[in-house]
Structures are given as C-alpha cells and as structure tokens.
Amino acid sequence: MITKSLMPLIGKAGAIFLAMLLLVCLAVPSLNLIVPISSPLHLPDYAVTLLGKYMCYALLALSVDLVWGFCGILSLGHGAFFALGGYAMGMYMMRQIGSRGSYGNAELPDFMVFLNWKSLPWYWHGFESFPFALAMVALVPGLLALVFGWFAFRSRVTGVYLSIITQAMTYALLLAFFRNDMGFGGNNGLTDFKDILGYSVQAAGTRAVLFMLSCLALGVCFVLARMIVNSKFGRVVISIRDAESRVRFLGYRVENYKLFIFVASAIMAGVAGALYVPQVGIINPSEFSPANSIEAVIWTAFGGRGTLWGAALGAIVVNAAKSWFTGVLPNAWLYALGALFVGVTLFMPKGLAGAFAGWTSVKRNQPEDVSAMEPAE
Amino acid sequence: MNTLKRLLFAATFLLLSLSASYAQDAGALVDALAQGSFAERGAAIANLVGSGSPAAVPVLQALSDGNLYVRMADNKVFIVRDDGDNFKLLDPTTGADAGGADKGGFDKIKVNNALREQISNAKGGLTLLSGDAKTRKDALLNILKSGDASALPALEKAIGTEKDPAILALMKSAAAAATLKSDRPESEKLAAIETLGKISDRDTVSLLSAYADTVDGVLKAHAQDAADRIATSLSSWAVVQNIWYGLSLASVLLLAAIGLAITFGVMGVINMAHGEMVMLGAYTTYVTQLLFKAYVPSLAGYSLIAAIPAAFAVSGLMGIAIERGIIRFLYGRPLETLLATWGVSLILQQGVRSIFGPTNKDVTTPSWMSGSIDLNGGLSLTMNRIAILIFACVVFAALMVLMKRSSIGLQMRAVTQNRPMANAMGIRSSRVDALTFGLGSGIAGLAGVALSQIDNVSPNLGQNYIIDSFLVVVFGGVGNLWGTLAGALTLGIANKFLEPFAGAVLAKIFILIAVILFIQKKPRGLFALKGRWVDA
C-alpha cells in the first residue's frame, strides 16, 4: 500500500535504485560478518569501509544534483558543507577520546595540548554530547548555506559568477582550517578516533552499522529529495532552472525558492560528511579543497543530473574506477578523470541515467520522467 | 687611570702591529704563531693581521681549521693536507707546494675558543682589504650588525684605501658602529651616532637602542633620539614597501587574469584550464633555456627573451586547440564548459608531470635581471620584480592597442557586446571565438614566462594562481580591461597591506570574504558592461 502511494513519487528508476540500495545495504554486512573468512564470498573489512565511503560520496553527489540538476545552481563549494558536517562529527569523536590520547589529557584533544592551550575554546563545548553533535552536523552547513545563499541569491548572482564565489568560499575555508589558531587541528585535522557512542570505530560490527546507516541516509535523502522536486514547490524550482526571469515575472520570489533548495542540499552534504568521517577515521582541511567539490560535480554529471539516483550511481561508479585506477595504474587516473570531464560534457550530457533512459525509451518509445528531461542551464 | 692604561695598551698594540708590518717579513710572522702561550699566540695573530699580508687569510683559516702545523726540527710553520700516511706541505706565505713529509716530525698549533673568536673577527677585518667588492661588502654588513670594536683599526685602515664610494659610505657606517663599542672618546662616539642616524634600517635601530641602554647622559639621549628618528622614518617606508609589494603582486595577478578576462568577456565561458596555460608558458621558458644552453650557450642569458614569443605560441596554439576541439561544441552552456576545461586542466597537469616529472624545474634568472636596487630605508627592489612590473604594463598596453585599434579587436568588442548583432553584421563569431581563446591563452603563457622567474616551475604552478585570477576578473567585471587592471591593483595592494597585521593566510581569507561580499553589491563587477539583457 505504502509502495503504491510512493510509486509515482519516486518513479520506476527510483524504485529500482532503492531496491538495489536495500540489497547492497543488507548483503554487504552479511557477506562481511556472517560468511566465514575462508569462504570466497567473504567480504574483507576494508571493502566494507570503502563501500561505505562510496555511499557517503553518493549522498554528496545527490545533494549536488538537487541544486544543480533541479535549480541550475552549479555549486563548486559543496565539499565545504561535506567537510563541515565531517568536522562536527570529528569534534564529537575527539571529545570521546578523553584521557586515552597520547598526552592523557581528559579535557583537551592532543593537538591542543601540543599547542599549549590551557582550556577548551568555546566552540568546542557541547560536542561531548552526541545529540548536540548531530544537531551541529545539520546546523553548521545549513547555516553557512543560509547566510551565503541569502547574500548571493538576493543580489541575483547567477551562473558562472555564483560558481566562482562558491569556489572562493570553500577555498577561504580551506585556508582558514589550515591555521592552527582556528582550533581544528590545523594541517593534520582531527584523527586518532577511538569510539563512537561507546562502540570502537575499528570494530567490524561498528563499521557494518556505519555502512548500513550510510545506505539508509542515502535512501532517506533520495526519497526526501524526490518529495521536494515532485511537489508544487519543486515544479517552481525546476522552472527557475529553465527560465529564472520568467518565474520572477510571474510573481514568485525566486531567491526564497533557491535558498530553500540550497540549504536543504547543504544539510544533506553535511550528513554525508558526518557519516564519512567515522568510516575513514580522519578529517583534515584538504576536504575543503576546491578540486574535491568540482569532482563531486562531475560524479553528478557522469551519473546524469536531474535524476538524483543517477548522481548517486555516478559517484559510486567514478569512485570505484578511481580506487581501481590508483591501485593498478596510479599515473593514469588523472588522465582518465580529465577525459571523463571532457567526454561526459561533450558526449553524455544526460550521463549514465540518460543512457539507461535511452534503452527503455527505445523499447517503450516514451520518456520516463518529466524531471529527467532536458535539464537546461 | 684604568682607561689610560687601556688606551696606552691600544696605542702600543697599534704601533707594534704597524712596525711589525714593516720590520718583519710574513714568514717570520707566521712562524711566530707556533711559539709561546695562547696569549702570546693571540698577539702573534694580531701582528700577522696588522701586517696586511695577503698570506694572513689562508693561514688563519688553516689555524682555525686545525691544519696549521709546526715542523719541530726548525720551528717552521706549514699548512698541511693530510695525505693518508704522510702530510702534504704547503708554504704558508705563498701557498706553493713544499713537498711531503712524515707525520711524526710535526706538531699541531692549537687554538682555544678565545683565539678562534679573535681569528674570525680578524678575518672580517682582513676581508675588508680584499679585491672583490662583494666580499668587502659582506664583511662590512657583518661588522655593521655586530658593531665589533676589534675591527675598528682594520676599518680605519681600509677607509684610507677604499675607492668605491658606495662601499666607502658603508665602511664609515661600520666604523661608526664599531666606534660605539670601542674605547674612543665621547666626541667621536657622538659623531658615530650622527653617522648611524643617517642609516635607516631595523638593525641600526636595535644597535642604537641597545647602545642607549648601556650608557648614560648625553650619549644615551643622542642614541635614543637617533633610534627613534630612524624608527619613525622606517614606518613611513613600510607603507612605501607595502605599496611596492602590492604592485608587484598586482602585476602578477594582472598577467594571470587578463587572458581570462578576455575569454570570459567575449565568450562568457570560464576557462578552468587557464592556470595550466600559465604553467605551459613556464615550462616553455624552461625548455627554451635548455635549448639555448645546449645549442647557443653564448646567448644563454637571453633565452628568456626568446621564451616570450615561444610561450605565447605554445599556450596560444593549445588554447586554439581546446577551443576548436571542445569548447565550440559547448556553445551556450557555460557551466559545462567550466567542467570540460577543468578536465583539460587535469590532463595537461598530468601530461606535464609525466614528461617533466613532478619535481620543480629550475629556471635561472639571467644576470641582467638579477640583483636589486637598494633604496634608503632597507627597501630593496629586486630587478626581477621590476622587470615583471614593466612586462605586465607592456602586455597590458599592447593588448589595449590591439583591442582598440585593430580590426580583430573591434570584432572582439562587438561580439562581447552583442553576439547575434555582430553575427548579423557579418562578423564570423566562431573565428573570433577561436582567436580570442588563442589570445587569452597566449597571454597566460606570457604570465608563465614571468612567473618562472619568481615561483617554482612545477605542474601545480597554475593551480596556485587560478582562484586569485578568477577573483580579479569577477571583481573587475568582464569585457573591460580597465576593470581587470583595477581588480588586480585593488586585490594585490589590499592583500599586502593586510598581511603585516593579519598574516598571509588570514589576509587572503579576508580578501576572499571581501570579494564575496562585493559581488553581492555589484553582481557584475566593478566595471559592469552596460547592456539591455535580462538573462546573460
């Protein structure tokens, strides 16, 4: 019954995507934990972490797709929201280390002891509480997006100008977080995590749970994003993408629509970052680097923007290729990535999703989804 | 009483050393080093130094290195080289080979720390008489910083013979610094303070204020006064210095950004591979230098001149290739162009890394561009920065002429203002696009030639400038070269003025935030192009 009411919302492709996601979400932990090590089907621990990382990237790509594919805002700074969510989670886990750090200081993280700080800076207070940290995971990126977007959209900064200033934003944050005085561990960032909610981050069980949570977050955000774009609100957003001035002339407050989508997307990126950090075990300023953000955009473009599930798929495929290349042909990866940027924009404007849609429409000779059609600039 | 005694001692010492230089030959002076206690050895060193003999420097060097030995049979001193079993002997006065000998018959001439210090000071004094102007200058700067009183006699002697007026002035300052710490009468010290008061740099301020703390009365007042005067003049020089550094940074930003501004203005696309065009220009400079060294070594100093057209051609052709191969298919989709050119930039970076390796390449600065102009106030304008500033101005002026006076410039401006109308007037806008892209990339190549002189030539060179270049363009507004100039100047100078207060990183963050806020006020930059459009 619920599936019936959900079907028009998520579409056929979306349903397949969710089903696959559910399958992976259940299969990966069972292959890792239940299947014995001797069996050829056994999945090693590192693979679970790696796949969990892909899931977080997929959520980041989904958030980029929400603003770019549906609202036409090409953000080259979504990595900043991802990293901020990651730092919020990292701060919680730093506080959980307590007196087990190298300096054995129960109050201060190691790097602060090293820098000879006497007390915890004010903005670190509260992060010992998990609910507080979770709130910050959503609030900090959301607030940054709100302030930044409010300024940008109100004064009608659009197109490449907006892309450039989002890039400048993440670059400014990159430089800021590199500073030791900021109190976020400078160059080294936050690392040496011990446990999360009392469970060791190294344990296979914790990793499996984190993986499942990442899949869950991806699934929930996918459904939420579909709900947003399929609502009347979402239709206005799509029209803004296609003809911003006309929508404005029709009397809609374009900046408010853009702002909502931008903030929602930033929060999703923050959640992705928060799930990413416990799995990889480190967060440092390089996550803010503009190259990361622009890479997330190409995952989205490769998967097919304006479809949401395509973006997630693109992130997983590109990152799997990256893992494979860096293992087998480390020097060739940048060539491949560069060629991907050029090839996708030239030959696959609709990405992987477009290719799939092409197959199905050949069979049934009809487009599958309104929102997947013709995402213009 | 005590002062009198010391003065007397100094006078005899001076007399002794003077007479020694005439009475004894260098050989005997050197031999004297081997005899007696450490105190007597110190006197012998002073004698040797006072003689002004050219042999003194190598002998003292050998002495402090522990290579000066005495032959026990006849008390002759030699500089030795350890040759395994035997010693190879060198005559200390002439440096000539004096044969080999068994180690057994020799005794090392020992020195203690007090003597080592005396030797190192004495060497400072001796190098004052060296024939090489740079050696003399370095020695003087050393004395000026330390205010070493023991160098005073040597300095006064050198002042008598110095011909170079610049070095003579420096010598007088150094002598003044040394006088302060010596036992000279108050009137001489006051004169010395007067002399020092005319030098404005930070070292002199600390020298004078440190001196003011050690004395009382008139001297203290004068020294403090002089130190304060210099400090005041220094702080006004600091402003000049900031402006200079700002101009220097602005010239680099201008070179890097102006090509971007043209392509952005005419075609409305952001070329993310622009930084790599700069990088290609820098590598072209490197290759040109290698070719010159290999084939025409006599002209190697001018390879930089040859690199200018070469870099323009390499980057320009690469730009045209990118435009013809990729960008023209993405016409009307500026955001996708941005992504595609980012991909090109990754490929170019990795390509250069594969060919030249990931390490920094060394591009030597030609002799006519090295060195610096020292201004009063410790401000030194390095020649390569000056050259880049001039180069940036020339490029800007040339581009301005091209845009305003040539037919292709007219076409570019027409396409910038209204593409469909320009098409209707018979301008082939696709040809204009290709040429514009080539021109913008070629200028980026020129920026690469300039940057190779002040930055590391590595595959990441372009990445370091690309975001700053974007900001300059966005700040200045597109389609207007004056806007780019204003943007580069504003950002460059603002950056350098913030740096002393906030540090380099924070200054950059402030600038970024300031530009982000500025864009809110003027979404199309400082010099926005006026036009009747709704959606760009």
pLDDT digits (tens, 9 = 90+) for A280-332: 999 999 999 999 999 999 899 999 888 899 999 999 999 999 999 988 888 88
Distance, CA of A61 to CA of A59 (rounded, Å): 5
Chain A residue with CA closest to B535: the answer is: A245
Q: Which residues from chain A sit within 8 angstroms of residue B483, using beta carbons?
A: none
Amino acid B506: pLDDT: 85
Amino acid A368: pLDDT: 44
With CB atoms and an 8 Å threshold, state whether B347 touches A172: no
- Sign for the CA dihedral angle at A61, A66, A70, A73 comes to negative
Q: What is the mean pLDDT of residues B174-182?
A: 76
Q: What contacts B351, CB < 8 A, 6 or more positions away?
A: A335
- What sections of A72-203 are H helices per DSSP? 78-97, 110-114, 130-154, 159-178
Q: Which residues from chain A sit within 8 angstroms of residue B343, using beta carbons?
A: 298, 337-343, 345
Q: Which residues from chain A sit within 8 angstroms of residue B349, using beta carbons?
A: 334
- Helix/strand/coil for B387: helix
Interface confidence (ipTM) of the complex: 0.84
Chain A residue with CA closest to B467: the answer is: A168
- Report all structural domains of chain B as residue ranges with CATH numbers, in order of start: 17-116 (no CATH), 237-521 (1.10.3470)
Count of CB atoms within 10 A of residue A233's CB? 13
pLDDT(B15) > 70: no
Q: Number of Cβ pairs closer than 8 Å across A and B? A: 135
CB burial of residue A307 (10 Å; 0-12, 13-18, 19+): buried
- Helix/strand/coil for B309: helix
Distance, CA of A24 to CA of A26 (rounded, Å): 5
Give CA A85 to chain center in angstroms: 10
With CB atoms and an 8 Å threshold, state whether B333 touches A377: yes
Confidence band for A4, pLDDT divided at 50, 70 and 90: low
CA distance B130 to chain A (A): 48
With CB atoms and an 8 Å threshold, state whether A161 touches B519: yes
Interface test with B, best of A341, A344, A377 (most B CBs within 10 A): A341
Tell me which of B266 and A209 has the higher pLDDT: A209
| Interchain contact B346–A (C-beta under 8 A) | yes
Tell me which of A98 and B2 has the higher pLDDT: A98
Amino acid B23: pLDDT: 40
CB burial of residue A113 (10 Å; 0-12, 13-18, 19+): middle
Tokens at A93, concatenated: 């886990």
Amino acid A369: pLDDT: 47
Report chain A's mean pLDDT, rounded to a whole number: 88
| Interchain contact B157–A (C-beta under 8 A) | no
Label the pairing between strands B97-102 and B86-90.
antiparallel
Amino acid B530: pLDDT: 59
Report chain B's mean pLDDT, rounded to a whole number: 81
Interface of B with A in 451-510 (CB under 8 A): 467, 470-471, 474, 505-506, 508-509
Count of CB atoms within 10 A of residue B225's CB? 14
Tell me which of B260 and B189 has the higher pLDDT: B260
Which residue is it, tokens 């919680």? A92
Amino acid A88: pLDDT: 95
Three-state secondary structure readout of B68-136: EEEECCCCEEEEEEEECCEEEEECCCCCCEEEEEEHHHEEECCCCHHHHHHHHHHHHHHHCCCCCHHHH
With CB atoms and an 8 Å threshold, state whether A151 touches B517: yes
Interface test with B, best of A73, A74, A161 (most B CBs within 10 A): A161
CA distance A306 to chain B (A): 14
Phi, psi of A59 (to 5 degrees): -65, -40
CA distance A336 to chain B (A): 8
Amino acid A361: pLDDT: 59
Q: What is the pLDDT of residues B328-339, one digit of tens each?
A: 888 778 888 888
The closest CB to that of A337, out of B346, B508, B513, belongs to B346
Amino acid B147: pLDDT: 64
Q: What is the pLDDT of residues B122-169, one digit of tens each?
A: 776 666 766 677 777 777 777 776 666 666 777 777 777 777 777 777
Q: What is the mean pLDDT of residues B9-34?
A: 61
With CB atoms and an 8 Å threshold, state whether A168 touches B508: no
Give CA A205 to chain center in angstroms: 23
pLDDT(A41) > 60: yes
Confidence band for B398, pLDDT divided at 50, 70 and 90: very high
Q: In what order do the strands lie in the sheet with B97-102?
A: B97-102, B86-90, B76-83, B68-71, B106-108
Interface test with B, best of A150, A160, A286, A335 (most B CBs within 10 A): A160
Q: What is the pLDDT of residues A185-213, one digit of tens each?
A: 888 899 889 888 888 888 889 999 999 99
Phi, psi of A201 (to 5 degrees): -70, -15
CA distance A341 to chain B (A): 5
Q: Which residues from chain A sit within 8 angstroms of residue B336, using beta carbons?
A: 301, 345, 349, 377
Q: What is the pLDDT of residues A242-260, one digit of tens each?
A: 999 899 999 999 999 999 9
- Which one-letter amino acid corresponds to residue B139? A
With CB atoms and an 8 Å threshold, state whether B470 touches A345: no
Confidence band for A1, pLDDT divided at 50, 70 and 90: very low
pLDDT(B26) > 50: yes
Confidence band for A239, pLDDT divided at 50, 70 and 90: very high
Q: Which residues from chain B sit within 8 angstroms of residue A340, using beta carbons?
A: 343
CA distance A17 to chain B (A): 26
- For chain B, what is the radius of gyration of the CA atoms? 33
| Interchain contact B317–A (C-beta under 8 A) | no
Q: What is the mean pLDDT of residues B35-39?
A: 79
Q: Which residues from chain B sit within 8 angstroms of residue A80, using beta carbons?
A: none
CA distance B264 to chain A (A): 10
pLDDT(A223) > 70: yes
pLDDT(A158) > 60: yes
With CB atoms and an 8 Å threshold, state whether A337 touches B345: no
Q: Which residues from chain B sit within 8 angstroms of residue A341, using beta carbons?
A: 339-340, 342-344, 346
Q: What is the mean pLDDT of residues B494-499?
A: 87
